[in-house]
Amino acid sequence: MNATELVNSTALRVAGGLLTITGTYLPWATFVLNDGPYPAKATLEFFREPFGLAGYRAHLLAFGVAALVFALVAVPGQGRILRALGAGVVTVSVLNGLWITVDGGGLGAITVSDEDVAFGAPVALVGGVLILAASARGRASDVPAWQWRFPPWWERLLLLGVLVLLLVLVSAVLTSGGQGGAANVYAGAVFLSFLAAAGAGMGALHASGLSSWVAALSERHRGFGIGVLLLCALALPFTGAGTEYWMTVAANIGVYAAAAIGLNIVVGLAGLLDLGYIAFLGIGAFVAANLSGAAASRIGLDLPFPLVMVISAVVAGLFGAVVGSPTLRVRGDYLAIVTLAFGEIFVRSAQNDIGGLTGGSNAIPGIPPLSLFGHGFDEKLVIGGVRVAPGVLYYVLIVLIVAGAMLVFANLKNSRLGRAWIAIREDEDAARAMGVRTGSTKILAFLIGAMLAGMAGAFYAHKTATVSYESFRFIESVTLLAAVILGGMGTIPGAVLGASILFVLPEKLREFSDYRLLLFGIALILIMRFRPQGLVPDTHRRAERAPGREEPTVVLPAVLAKVGR
């Protein structure tokens, strides 16, 4: 890029940033909207409240200021950073502009009125387009590989701060737009706008290389990071997301996250496609329902929950070994058909109440809630003078169960057995030729994965108090498989992140009614189109899709390098 092109590109970026900031302060509607996220703030004028910005306006202001800074200061990854910021400005402007125009007040939202003109959305949109156009000119800059080194206790403090910010972000995502889209009529639009802004911010961080550096930092202090992450998860009930509604949603996410971790062993590590995996979760739930003193149970036993959970895991594991035995003869599409058939056999058997253990169409209701020291898990709780919502103890328990499942997965992946699973996934014939006992190894994958699902099923039975065959249909197996692939096959946090997205997105999009699943499907398509290796890719899969050249290395000046030493 010559000097003239550089000046023109810089001018476009500066103009885009200025227009974005200007559009933030201009009116976005010529009327006052209903109570909700778009009240009088929609007609905010600069001279009335110059700094009273919130919501989408605050996001656009931050993007505009950041675009100005990165337009004038040359940093590694500058082009990609500006591209992410420009995409965020365009998306937020379009989402909010269209929503105010179409749902808020028709064409009057953007036409001339007696008082002013709603130029906010068009001006901000033009600013975002200019930023994108300027960042697209010339060769795209590479993502830098930062090699910052600080004293260990500094790095731990930085990691603590990052994880606390992550907790705040998660709480903001859950509470943005209200409770599952039911708090006001604009909840869905607010959530989509916030999601677009968060995605653009994460894209800019990745383009700057900071996210990769944080990942390396967490790898150097893995034990400390895991401990802090666990504490942050346990602190979620004390944030804005600590309502009974979101604690219930979080507990359900935990159930499917634990099951998805088990499926990740079968699919992600061993490479065995299982389309009937939800049956193991159902087996664990029905075993727990029959052994926990449910009113409709024909067995009549009331065992302690820890023992029930162990028995449920063992029984589900035995069924997993039975299902895994055909893998000695079939593989690929044929194995998928076998597992699909098992899932359908389980559903039909539970529906017909074979053996009187599933209740048939009547299900098994009346499963007693868990209790600790005489306090029910579904009751309100006061901790240190702070009253927390009912169901928090269930959330704490499922967090501990998911943490245990992650620990099992991590130890297995790094063990000799885990390396054998990975070898089978890459090339089963080559693994057999190298001495791996592929038959017994694949059966162990099914067995251990089914045990984790059975353990999650035992918790699910007590949390819902009713177990029905309708909760374990084929679509649930597809959802679990999508969670594993979306999050990243073979990774520890991938299954948890995938399950969280698959359950939070539909909840937050309820305000869109009939279009909810359509938007959800489009989101999945876009994610898999631009991130086929998953949101948290495995090391091997990341290497497979890495470009055939080394990334440039960027180091701090000598002064900071000395501090790191």
Say whether pLDDT at 547 is over 70: no
In this structure, the number of other CB atoms found within 10 A of the CB of residue 298 comes to 12
Of 317, 332, 213, 215, the C-alpha closest to 271 is: 332
Say whether pLDDT at 308 is over 90: yes
> Residue 103: its pLDDT value, please?
55
The SS3 call for residue 371 is strand
Please state, in angstroms and rounded to a whole number, the distance separating the CA atoms of residues 60 and 96. 11
CA distances from 154 to 61, 67, 146, 161, 485 (A): 31, 30, 17, 11, 35
Say whether pLDDT at 534 is over 90: no
Say whether pLDDT at 80 is over 80: yes
DSSP state of 364: B
Cβ-based neighbours of 227, under 8 Å, separated by 6 or more? none
Q: Which residue has the tokens 């930085």?
A: 158
Q: If you average pLDDT over each of 21-30, 59-68, 551-560, which comes out highest?
A: 59-68
| Helical axes 244-263 vs 492-508, angle rounded to 10° | 140
- What single-letter amino acid sits at 554? V
Question: In terms of C-beta density within 10 A (0-12 exposed, 13-18 middle, 19 or more buried), how is residue 430 classed?
Answer: exposed
Label residue 316 by pLDDT band (50, 70, 90).
very high
Say which residue, 30 or 28, is predicted with more confidence: 28
Q: If you average pLDDT over each of 112-116, 521-525, 542-546, which comes out highest?
A: 521-525
The SS3 call for residue 550 is coil
- What integer is the mean pLDDT of 157-183? 74
Model confidence pLDDT, tens digit, residues 406-463: 989 988 988 899 999 999 988 888 988 988 888 889 999 999 999 999 999 999 999 9
- What integer is the mean pLDDT of 254-280? 91
Alpha helices, DSSP H, located in 47-77: 56-72
CB 316 within 8 A of CB 280: yes
CB 367 within 8 A of CB 461: yes
> Residue 265: its pLDDT value, please?
92
> Residue 450: its pLDDT value, please?
94
Say whether pLDDT at 279 is over 90: yes
- What single-letter amino acid sits at 107? L
Model confidence pLDDT, tens digit, residues 39-52: 344 444 333 343 45
Helix or strand holding residue 388 (H, E): strand 386-388
Model confidence pLDDT, tens digit, residues 374-394: 778 877 777 767 777 888 889
Please state, in angstroms and rounded to a whole number, the distance separating the CA atoms of residues 446 and 435. 20
Percent of the chain beyond pLDDT 70?
81
- Average pLDDT of the chain, as a whole number: 79
Cβ-based neighbours of 49, under 8 Å, separated by 6 or more? none
Percent of the chain beyond pLDDT 90?
18
- What integer is the mean pLDDT of 213-237? 85
| Two structure tokens written together for 428 | 């089963």
Residues, the chain, total? 565
Q: pTM score, two decimals? A: 0.81
- The alpha carbon of residue 341 and the mean position of all alpha carbons in its chain are separated, in whole angstroms, by 30
Q: How far apart are the first and last CA of the chain?
A: 38
Label residue 170 by pLDDT band (50, 70, 90).
confident
- What integer is the mean pLDDT of 130-144? 70
Please state, in angstroms and rounded to a whole number, the distance separating the CA atoms of residues 254 and 400. 10
φ, ψ of residue 375 to 5 degrees: the values are: -110, 120
- What single-letter amino acid sits at 154? W
Helix or strand holding residue 92 (H, E): helix 78-99
Half-sphere exposure of 478 (CA within 13 A, CB side): 3
Cβ-based neighbours of 308, under 8 Å, separated by 6 or more? 287, 288, 291, 292, 458
DSSP state of 209: T
The distance between the two most distant Cα atoms of the chain, rounded to a whole number of Å, is 84
| Helical axes 474-487 vs 333-351, angle rounded to 10° | 140
Q: Are strands 553-554 and 145-146 parallel, antiparallel or unpaired?
A: parallel
